[in-house]
Chains A and B, each alone.
Chain A
Amino acid sequence: MLKQHLPILLVIVPLITAPLIVLLRRPLLSWMAAMLASVVTLIIAIPLLQQAVDQGVISYAIGTWPAPLGIEYRVDAANAFVALIVALMAVFVMPYCRTGIAAEVRSEEHYLFYAMMMLCLAGLLGILLTGDAFNLFVFLEISSLATYVLIAMGRDRRALVASYQYLLMGTIGATLYVIGIGLLYLQTGTLNLADLAQRLPVMGDVRATLAALAFITVGISLKIALFPLHLWLPNAYAYSPSAVSAFLAATATKVSIYVLMRYFFTIFGETVVFDARYTGTLLLALSLAAMFIPAVVAIFQKDVKRLLAYSSVSQIGYITLGISLSSVGGLTAAVAHLFNHALTKGGMFLILGGVVLRYGGASLERMAGLGRTMPIAAFAFVLGGLSLIGIPGTAGFISKWYLVTAAMEEGQWWLAGAVMLSSLLAVIYVWRFVEVAYFREPPEGSPSRGEAPLSMLLPGLAMIAACLWFGLDATWSGSMARAAAEALAGAWK
């Protein structure tokens, strides 16, 4: 009975919690509500994924209006898997918020913070589960607006500028997306994604379809922060509260990547997107540029948060590289990296948040001797760094392995070399941290600062541990990524 309503419950639990938190107002109560809602979301996401893997496609008609007319939620292994990632990240980040946010956000704004977190979560999950192009836009705006507010809550005054920058770019992205949707609607008369997927091939190679494809690709790429549309991202991650950086880095761009994959493979179809034109080559070129240029920029950052942000842009390059291969192997690599990078980067941002709390800033200079003052945090951070590089035994290795294998399947041997080379760049920026943290003396007379509070340390450690676990045993994550890739390529039949 309850089972059939799982798709909608996943979205409305955080959506209803948000206004409830506004009514509760008290910081502790709002945190408890947000925590509870996140846990419930995760509890819903797990059986939903199981159901999606077993059944194939789950369709849910909102208001019992049948699919092409009413809004439909359409769940398969792909979006259920990404939804699980998002819910998981929320559960990791929420316990951290209690102490983490107390230090960074004024206490009278706490309830607003948690309400925004819930709206952001609801928006992201909505984007994933909905089977309606316009509904997707609405959820995109819900999550984006919540994100702008969350970023602006950062303690640094530059957070406001960063948020404004993201607001401009995000709005342009969303506008382009709606223009694309408008063009599609004009031709097919439908907004239902599955319906679109059926009708578009019949339309043939019409210019309006291509224009729609172009608008949607660029619009969503802005949200993904695909190089060179990534300029909003470093500031947004660097100046927002640590918990927000962690949550966004692990979820927001990932969800947009899912949308791009859905449009490329399920709706427009591989033939239109990749075989008939140079989308694949273009995406490949941009992915390569993303793998190298932001990684080089990351090397020269003085602020560790910014370093991680640039590293995120570079890691997104690996994911889009997988997409550009336009094979099931490539998609598997993309989805696997989505999961693995979410764990890695989320964990690193959480650990870093604890360091920032103790040190009052994220500049690399201040972290001299961190290996002695905060040994656990420094060690966990380095482990996360190893996963960014892709050392065997970490989650990052698994996805790079998939990526290289997929590239070789396509006969693109040189791509394997490119992945290795860009991993070397990751070695350099991770090494910079190692050098400062372990090979420099703590500044004279600095009191021993001790580790961050347990409630902040544990979620980060748990994520880094998960990152190692999925590096050693990738059976589950690998098979899920495979199922998701097949679902994406399978065109919802």
Chain B
Amino acid sequence: MRLDIILRVLAKLLIPFAVMFASYVQFHGDFGPGGGFQAGVIAAAAVIFYALIYGLPSARKVVPDALVEAMIALGVLIYAGVGVAGLLLGGNFLDYFVLAHDPVHGQHRGIFWVEVGVLVTVFAVMLKIFYVFAGRSRSPVDSEDAS
């Protein structure tokens, strides 16, 4: 791997754009195709790309396992939290109308945070699946080599 300078340079060039594209898909999801799920997959793909080129251990340093696991839970909590916020503000569960003074604005705000929740969980789940599979197939000699 150490000799693949083209791959390393290209990866360094592409990964920021992948992350950028993920956030575009995320935040443009209100108006066009896209949203939390797709953005989460793209963002995870960026990290997975990094892991493929620079090795699993360095990817695990950037996005540690504990963080991944916490993010899986956190995304669900954000989503459910939006629902509970609706409850607390006097509406039904997942009621976005009451989230702001203007109902349309409320819908925007509700969708925005729900999609953030989806992004966080999908990103983390994708990475978790990758870590689990990649961690298994790798023989100990290989992982030493890559680090």
Identify the A interface with B (CB < 8 A). 5, 8, 12, 15-16, 18-20, 22-23, 60-64, 115
The answer to whether A12 and B83 have CB atoms under 8 Å apart is yes
Structural contact, A60 and B92, CB atoms closer than 8 A? yes
Q: Please, how many angstroms separate the alpha-carbon atoms of A20 and B69 in the complex? A: 12
Please, which residue of chain A has its CB at the minimum distance from the CB of B66?
A25
Task: List B residues at the A interface (Cβ < 8 Å).
Answer: 69-70, 72-74, 76-77, 80, 83-84, 86-87, 91-97
User: Which of B74, B84, B95, B97 is in CB contact (< 8 Å) with A12?
Assistant: B84
Known: A5-B87, A12-B83. A63 touches B74 (CB 8 A): no
Among A23, A60, A64, the residue within 8 A (CB) of B73 is: A23
Bound state CA distance, A18 and B76, in angstroms?
9
Determine whether the beta carbon of B77 is less than 8 Å from that of A19.
yes
CA distance A444 to B76 in the complex (A): 55
- Most chain A C-beta atoms within 10 Å of own C-beta, residue among B83, B84, B94: B94
Known: A5-B87, A63-B86. A23 touches B74 (CB 8 A): yes
The listed residue with most B CB atoms (<10 A of its CB), out of A5, A18, A22, A60, is: A22
- Residues of A near B97 (CB, < 8 A) are 64
Q: How far is the CA of A5 from the CA of B76 in the complex (A)?
A: 20
Closest CB in chain B relative to A145 CB, distance in Å: 12
Chain A positions within 8 Å of B73 at CB level? 18-20, 22-23, 115
Total inter-chain residue pairs, C-beta < 8 Å = 48
* 22 CB < 8 A contacts A-B: A8-B87, A8-B93, A12-B80, A16-B80, A18-B76, A19-B73, A19-B77, A20-B77, A22-B70, A22-B72, A22-B73, A23-B70, A23-B74, A23-B77, A60-B92, A61-B92, A62-B93, A62-B94, A63-B92, A64-B91, A64-B95, A115-B73
Contact of A64 among B70, B74, B92 (CB under 8 A): B92
Q: Are B84 and A16 in contact (CB under 8 A)?
A: yes
CB–CB B93/A5 < 8 A: yes
> How far, in angstroms, from A115 to B73 measured CA to CA in the complex?
10
Given A23-B70, A23-B73, decide whether A15 and B80 contact each other with a Cβ distance below 8 A.
Answer: yes
Chain A, Cβ-Cβ closest to B98: A64
A239 to chain B, nearest CB (A): 23
Nearest CB in chain B: distance from A69 CB, A: 14
Q: Within 8 Å CB of B93, what residues of A?
A: 5, 8, 12, 62-63
Q: Across the interface, which residues of B come within 8 angstroms of A64, CB to CB?
A: 91-92, 95, 97
Contacts of A12 in B (CB 8 A): 80, 83-84, 93
A residues less than 8 Å from B72 (CB atoms): 19, 22
* B77–A16 touching, CB < 8 Å: yes
Determine how close the nearest CB of chain A comes to the CB of B78; give it in whole angstroms.
Answer: 9
CB of B110, distance to nearest CB on chain A (Å) = 8
Give chain A residues whose Cβ lies under 8 Å from the Cβ of B94.
62-63
Greatest chain B CB density within 10 A among A60, A62, A115 is at: A62
In the complex formed, the residue of A with least CB distance to B103 is A64
Chain B residue contacts of A19, Cβ below 8 A: 72-74, 76-77, 80
B90 CB to closest chain A CB (Å) equals 9
B70 lies within 8 A of A8 (CB): no
Chain A contacts of B87 at CB under 8 A?
5, 8
Which one of A5, A15, A23, A63 has the highest number of Cβ atoms from chain B below 10 Å of its Cβ?
A63
- Please name all residues of chain B whose beta carbon is closer than 8 Å to the beta carbon of A16 when the two chains form the complex: 77, 80, 84
- Within 8 Å CB of B70, what residues of A? 22-23
Q: How far is the CB of B37 from chain A (nearest CB, A)?
A: 15
Q: Are B84 and A63 in contact (CB under 8 A)?
A: no
Bound form: Cα–Cα A12–B80 in Å: 8
Known A5-B87, A12-B83, A64-B97; contact A22-B92, beta-carbon cutoff 8 A: no
CB distance from B77 to the nearest CB of A (A): 5
Determine the distance from Cα of A16 to Cα of B86 in the docked complex, in whole angstroms: 15
- CA of A8 to CA of B96, assembled, Å: 16
Write the nearest CB–CB distance from B75 to chain A, whole angstroms. Answer: 8
Residue among B69, B76, B92 having the largest count of chain A Cβ atoms under 10 Å: B92
Query: Which partner residue on chain B sits nearest A60 by CB separation?
Result: B92
Q: Which residues of B contact A20 (CB under 8 A)?
A: 73, 77
Nearest Cβ on chain A to B70's Cβ, whole angstroms: 6
Query: What's the Cα separation between A451 and B86 when bound, in Å?
Result: 49
Alpha-carbon distance between A61 and B73 when the two chains are bound, in angstroms? 26
Once the chains are docked, how many angstroms separate the CA of A22 from the CA of B69?
8
Q: Which residues of A are found within 8 Å of B92, using beta-carbon distances? A: 5, 8, 60-64
A19–B71 alpha-carbon span in the complex (Å): 10
The CA-CA distance from A23 to B71 in the complex, in Å, is 9
A72 to chain B, nearest CB (A): 11
- Closest A residue to B86 by beta carbon equals A63
The chain B residue sitting closest to A1, CB to CB, is B90
Q: Which 6 A-B pairs have the closest CB atoms?
A: A19-B73, A22-B73, A63-B94, A8-B93, A19-B76, A64-B95
16 further A-B contacts with Cβ under 8 Å, apart from A5-B92, A63-B95, are: A5-B93, A8-B87, A8-B92, A12-B80, A12-B93, A18-B76, A19-B72, A19-B73, A19-B76, A19-B80, A20-B77, A22-B69, A22-B72, A23-B74, A60-B92, A63-B93
The minimal Cβ–Cβ distance linking B98 to chain A, given in whole angstroms, is: 8
Q: B68 to chain A: closest CB distance in Å?
A: 11
**Please, which residues of chain B bring their CB within 8 A of the CB of A18?**
73, 76
